[in-house]
Chain A
Amino acid sequence: MENRGIDFGYGFLSQESSFDVQFSLIEYDGSHSYFRAYLVGLLNTILVSVIGIIFATIIGVIVGIARLSSNYLIKNTAAFYVEFFRNIPLLLQIFFWYFAALRALPLPQDTESIMGVFYLTIKGLFIPAFIWENFNIFLYSIIAAVVSIVVIKNYARRKQENEGKQIPVFLISIGLLLILPLLSFLIGGVSLSFEIPVLKKLAKTSYIYEGGVGIPPELIALTLALSLYTATFIAECVRAGIQGVGKGQKEAAASIGLNPNQILKLVVMPQALRIIIPPTTNQYLNLTKNSSLAAAIAYPDLVLVFAGTALMQTGKAIEIVSITMLTYLSLSLSISVLMNWYNKKIAIKEK
């Protein structure tokens, strides 16, 4: 390495980065350090992974259950969806959404609003921004609600174990989650207003939205592609999990007089989850790693900002690539630690 004139060191992280990033969650411009640029990329990666995981889980569970439906049409539509999206490379799907589907959207000045406040344009989705007053009181009320739900849940479990009485925990929890924040609005002085995006003319043919939150098309394309693609795998995991629960279990549950809802909630799902969780964890990991494909459509994630632009500017290949890989490794590890903890919680407890 020496004879190639490469000096090794992480000192460059505090230097001024002098490049701009299109989309960042924290304040950032060219005068900030490379470390700040790294944080911007990391946060963008985490953002797209978290949104993608949430959507993929929702779609995946619905499609997985739909594949077991007794309705011929629903079953086959779900199967078609899985076969179709699973067999096309993710990169192509991202390109398709970004370069073909989203490019067909109208220009900002031609678009019509959705419900008066949302604007879907070729420049992205514009939604109203929340403007909070006394946001921390609202936050405390939610925390209080969550804490009291946990307390009530424990109390209900003890009551059921000792006296055999059931308390409608679910209804109470929903009530608490609604009522406490509502109280904070009425009494605590919290108020929420919206800043609706407004179309503004910059030049003759150039328009821009002002106010509100703009979600860039790169993020939309990436989220769509990631969640639709990963959902097919999660759907298969869910299907395998539910099929893995023995038929006898359902029959036994039905024979002691549980209704279909209770069978699903109390008997099938707890056992199916044990089969579903480990492979689904893998899919979450894959989704997080696949979010690095963002670089291909110029969504400023970790790979593009740090392993791309910063590397190009500093030439510190070894340091930057090692940091990037370590970051992904630790992201993967933290997801699997989290999921393993959950897995251990729902695993069969043997004496």
Chain B
Amino acid sequence: MNNINFLKPDKSNLNLFLILGLSLVFISIFDVFLSSFFKINATGFLPTSISFLLPLIIGFIGLHFIRIEYSGIRRLDEINKNFNNNNFNAVLSLLIIFIIIKSIPPVLSWTVIDANISGNSKEACTGDGACWTYIKVWLRRFIYGLYPNEEQWRINLSFISLLALGSVGYFATEKFKKYLTLYYVVIYPIIAFLFIFFFISGGPVFFDFSYGIIASVVAIIIGFFVPNKFKLYYFCFVPLAVYLSLNLFILPEEYVELGKLDGLNWVETGAWGGLALTFIVSFFCLIFCFPVGMALALGRRSELPFIKYTSVVFIEFWRGVPLITVLFMSSVMFPMFLPEDFFLDKLVRVIIAISLFEAAYVAEVIRGGLQALPRGQYDAAKSLGMGYWKMHIFVILPQALKLVIPGIANTFLALVKDTPLILVVGLLEIAGMLQMAKTNPKWLGYSMEGYVFAAVVFWIICYAMSKYSYNLEEKYKTER
């Protein structure tokens, strides 16, 4: 089309064409604007098909007139370069502009103008637009699930304190920064588990506090005689180990009743739900799948055939089956293999299933990073006399992990987006609560609002995560 030069503007008749072209473009946009915002069809006297296409045709001719190379006007050159560099792009640009203009009024009227937010019942929703009253009334349920209303402060408190504990990394001094990994990989998950188990579920604290305090004090006093080199490791690990071992192994059952946190009711996991459950499941799965995946990745590259092929079979199996069947298996089949008196909560089973599933993906991503490292890095580390673990921890893994930050971010995003699947085994996280609210006889027919709400929530979570991963990528970039 470009070799047709009739009526092609150039610098000598620039102004004439500019006025003509721009006015044509504005007429066409104005026509679409009128018809979509004020329902006025300015070209209604023409046959419908022509009137429908007229803005496109007029706009196209207008754009053709103003397509001048190096006109000397900066704005015009920019427009030509970005929207109007050939006929095909001109038509596409116009179409997209028209679609955007056309779709603004219906979207705006549905979400804002005709929408209702006042009132507390279905009767308040009279407009044609969205019924945000529905979201307002059900918001508590969407966030907390079936958790008893008067106990919801427990969820808030645990999440706020976990967030506070999690942000320790920002305030740690340079000296302690190297122990942060240890903190995030080992200690933080344990604290989080204790918070969730003892606080949100109101489960028994197994030991008498006095025993625990005495044991911890003893542990700390011993700590002062530990050589300086190991002091930090000691303080990080031992009090916690004492606490846990007291909990799990030593104290007899009669302490269970004794040590129960005063005044906290037991809330079984069946009643957890909503966004809080989404966070709990994502959080624990994220934490667990990473080390397992790392171990599998190393296992797959191991020189010992047994370890190697076990990892290969594990990874290929979990990657080959859908998550939904894994969840089915965890809820239907897994309890059959357990010993009679052994009880594992459904939520725990689901978390284990999702973690193992995602670990297989993490393993493949990390393997990619390991493969991308040049052999020289391994040789150099070995020539310094490093053993397998030292080599991997100090030389190989930091570099490999840095390489695969985008891949890991993708897997984590996939994990968060997979959490709604737990509704197929009867755990009602936010998508499950939506399904439940939708079938409530008092509130039939508001599925659209619910899905839009959940979509926005998930979109914000995922978008924030992906932006954070870009940040990390920038931060650890070493090449110039």
Contact = CB atoms under 8 A, between A and B. Distances in A.
A293 B459 CA distance: 20
Interface in A68-107: 69-74, 77, 83-84, 86-93, 95-96, 99-100, 103
Given A303-B324, A321-B333, A89 B96 contact: no
A70 B424 CA distance: 45
Contact of B82 (A1, A70, A92, A296): A70
A328 B320 contact: yes
Contact of B325 (A71, A100, A324): A324
Interface in B412-465: 413, 417-421, 423-424, 431, 434-435, 438, 447-448, 451, 454-455, 458-459, 462-463
Interface of B is mostly: helix
Contacts of B463: 83, 87
Contacts of A89: 417-420, 431, 458
B420 A91 contact: yes
B447 A103 contact: yes
Contacts of B340: 3
Interface in A291-336: 292-293, 295-296, 303, 307, 311, 317-318, 321, 324-325, 328-329, 332-333
- Can you list the 9 inter-chain pairs with the closest CB atoms, starting with the nearest? A72-B82, A87-B462, A292-B322, A289-B322, A329-B320, A100-B448, A89-B417, A96-B451, A332-B320
Contacts of B92: 71, 73-74
B333 A92 contact: no
Contacts of B96: 73-74, 77
Interface of B: 81-83, 85, 89, 92-93, 96-97, 317, 319-325, 328-329, 332-333, 336-337, 340, 413, 417-421, 423-424, 431, 434-435, 438, 447-448, 451, 454-455, 458-459, 462-463, 466
A1 B319 CA distance: 28
Nearest to A236: B410
A38 to B, nearest CB: 14
B84 to A, nearest CB: 8
A4 interface: yes
Nearest to B94: A73
A293 B431 CA distance: 13
A6 interface: yes
Contact of A92 (B81, B329, B332, B420): B420
A60 to B, nearest CB: 16
B2 to A, nearest CB: 12
Interface string A99-142: 11001000000000000000000000000000000000000000
B462 A303 contact: no
A143 to B, nearest CB: 34
B431 A289 contact: no
Nearest to B464: A87
A268 B334 CA distance: 51
B336 A333 contact: no
B459 A84 contact: yes
Contacts of B332: 311, 317, 321
B424 A296 contact: yes
Contact of A289 (B89, B321, B419, B462): B321
Given A87-B459, A91-B431, A92-B455, A329 B317 contact: yes
A206 to B, nearest CB: 21
A317 B333 contact: yes
A290 interface: yes
Nearest to B340: A3
Contacts of B447: 95, 99-100, 103
A315 to B, nearest CB: 10
A100 B322 contact: no
Contacts of A332: 319-321
A100 B82 contact: no
Given A295-B424, A317-B336, A329-B317, 13 more contacts: A69-B89, A73-B93, A74-B92, A87-B458, A91-B431, A92-B454, A100-B447, A290-B322, A292-B324, A303-B322, A307-B325, A307-B328, A321-B333
Nearest to A99: B447
B413 A333 contact: no
B465 to A, nearest CB: 9
Nearest to A332: B320
Contact of A95 (B93, B419, B435, B459): B435
B431 A92 contact: yes
15 contacts: A6-B336, A71-B93, A73-B82, A77-B96, A86-B462, A92-B455, A285-B319, A295-B324, A295-B424, A296-B424, A317-B333, A317-B336, A318-B333, A321-B325, A328-B320
A317 B328 CA distance: 10
A88 B455 contact: yes
Interface in A254-301: 285, 289-290, 292-293, 295-296
Nearest to B410: A233
B129 to A, nearest CB: 14
Contact of B321 (A290, A295, A328): A328
B329 A321 contact: yes
Contacts of A303: 322, 324-325, 328
Contacts of A4: 336
A95 B451 contact: yes
